[in-house]
């Protein structure tokens, strides 16, 4: 898949309190697929324009309520049994929330509610293990987060999220009104971030249902270990490097559909330079 895009964004301040964010993006996606089992080939070109907008009010007491609207466009890379590609998944999200940072404090509290509506959502049939697209899925949720610097080198981040996702339109009548798979349930996380002398970013996470335990995570026989390094450069610049490495056992990461499976990425490297003024 080859995906290209152009975007614009403008942030406008009205006085000392109000900030308006407007943005738009146009994407082009070109897909070429070949099924190695039967040699079937499929190609598809898609494009879409999406928009986003947000408005925030910054009060003197540290409160910052906001509202936002955003659209999404996601090309689906999985092919049907016939070799034809699926229609891209599109979405619209409304969100409202508030952030609060007490004066002379390094603590940040936030709360948000949202509604996300997606069309052409990909779903796997449990009987045939084949993929198909559901007409429409609506997700409503609540997110809470608290951040605080306990010491100059230790930060604590606590989060809570609940999502209720249901099928609102489908070619199968019994699916309408039902929860999607997996069903919505609350999830919490507690993360500790410590920056030592070597500037190593160490994070420990805990989930209510144990899905994010420990420092590494894996699927099947492949284990992934995230390694992060952060340093400070002169003139208010920061250098960051994130690397994700897979054990070289060449085992399949997981079978993702009826006819294919994916290998885990052997190594992913991301480098960034930020400047603060």
- pLDDT at position 54, please? 96
DSSP structure string for 161-189: EEEEEEEEE-SSGGGTTPBPSSPP--EEE
Q: Are residues 31 and 154 in the same domain?
A: yes
Of the residues 178, 204, 220, the one at which a domain ends: 220
pTM for this entry = 0.66
Q: Are residues 260 and 213 in the same domain?
A: no
What does the pLDDT look like over 101-159, one tens digit per residue? 988 888 999 999 999 999 988 877 766 667 778 889 999 999 999 998 888 778 888 99
Both 126 and 245 in a single domain? no
Domain final position from 194, 220, 246: 220
Q: Is residue 216 located within the same domain as residue 250?
A: no
Do 32 and 103 lie in a common domain? yes
Residues 75 and 107 placed together within one structural domain of the fold: yes
Angle subtended at Cα 62 by Cα 22 and Cα 145, rounded to the nearest 5 degrees: 75
Shared-domain flag, residues 129 and 257: no
pLDDT tens for each residue of 1-29: 788 899 999 999 998 899 999 999 999 98
Range of the domain at 127: 2-220
CATH classification at residue 51: 2.40.170.20
Residue at which a domain ends, from 220, 235, 251: 220
- C-alpha 112/C-alpha 102 separation (Å) is 18
Distance CA 3, CA 44 (A): 12
**How many domains does the structure of the chain reveal?**
2
pLDDT grade, residue 90 (50/70/90)? Answer: very high
Residues 195 and 267 in one domain: no
Give the residue, 167 or 250, on which the prediction is more confident.
167
Tell me: do 192 and 142 sit in the same domain: yes
* Domain match, 15 and 135 both: yes
Same domain, 258 and 132: no
Q: Give the pLDDT of residue 182.
A: 60
pLDDT in tens, 158-190: 999 998 989 888 878 888 888 876 655 566 676
160 and 262 co-located in one domain: no
Res 228 pLDDT > 60: no
Q: Please list the residues that pair with 203 across neighbouring strands.
A: 193
Q: Give DSSP secondary structure letters for 113-129.
A: EEEEEEEEEEEE-TTT-
């Amino acid at each position: 898949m080859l995906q290209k895009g152009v975007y614009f964004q403008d942030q406008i301040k009205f006085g000392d309190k109000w900030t308006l964010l407007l943005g738009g993006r146009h994407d082009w996606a070109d897909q070429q697929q070949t099924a190695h089992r039967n040699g079937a080939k499929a190609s598809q070109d898609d494009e879409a324009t999406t928009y986003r907008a947000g408005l925030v009010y910054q009060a003197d007491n540290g409160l910052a309520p906001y509202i936002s609207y955003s659209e999404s466009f996601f090309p689906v890379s999985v092919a049907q049994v016939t070799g034809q590609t699926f229609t891209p998944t599109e979405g619209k999200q409304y969100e409202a929330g508030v952030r609060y940072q007490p004066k002379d404090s390094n603590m940040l509290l936030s709360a948000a509610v949202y509604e996300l509506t997606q069309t052409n959502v990909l779903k796997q049939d449990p009987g045939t293990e084949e993929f198909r697209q559901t007409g429409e899925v609506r997700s409503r949720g609540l997110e809470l987060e608290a951040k605080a610097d306990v010491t100059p080198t230790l930060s604590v981040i606590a989060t809570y999220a609940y999502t209720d996702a249901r099928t609102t339109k489908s070619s199968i009548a019994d699916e309408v009104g039902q929860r999607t798979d997996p069903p919505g349930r609350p999830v919490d996380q507690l993360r500790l971030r410590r920056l030592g002398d070597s500037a190593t970013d160490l994070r420990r996470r805990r989930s209510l249902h144990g899905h994010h335990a420990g420092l590494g995570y894996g699927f099947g026989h492949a284990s992934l270990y995230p390694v992060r390094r952060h340093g400070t450069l002169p003139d208010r610049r920061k250098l960051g490097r994130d690397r994700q490495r897979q054990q070289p056992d060449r085992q399949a990461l997981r079978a993702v559909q009826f006819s294919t499976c994916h290998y885990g990425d052997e190594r992913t490297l991301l480098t960034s330079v930020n400047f603060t003024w």
